Amino acid sequence: MHMALETNQVHISSLVVHCLPDKYKQVLASVKKMDQVEIHAPDPAGKFVALLETENEQGILAVIDQIQTVNGVLNTTMVYHEIDDGIEGE
């Protein structure tokens, strides 16, 4: 049996989100309201970067699923993932 260990890890990841240009403002507004998401590099042509900070990989997948359900989103692609375990000096 596999037991989950409690950790102080933070999973930092970034996604490129592509959406329909005519739905850009609505998509951006919807994603900005989501917990654990910051928006960077918005481009009205229909794309932006979403920076996520979650407790685990499942949290990342949950946010990706949530973004992909927004009306007008075409694609969400993870371009970066780092695990910060809070240990300094490594």
Q: Are 43 and 21 in contact (CB under 8 A)?
A: no
Given a cut of 70, is residue 47 above it in pLDDT? Answer: yes
Q: What is the mean pLDDT of residues 1-20?
A: 79
10-84: which CATH number, 1.10.3210.10, 1.10.10.10, 3.90.79.10, 3.30.70.920? 3.30.70.920
Residue listed under structure tokens 């993932």: 81
C-alpha 27/C-alpha 63 separation (Å) is 14
pLDDT of residue 85: 86
Q: State the average pLDDT over residues 69-73.
A: 98
pLDDT of 69 above 50: yes
Edge-to-edge strands, sheet with 73-84: 37-43, 47-54, 10-19, 73-84
Q: What percent of the chain has pLDDT over 70?
A: 87
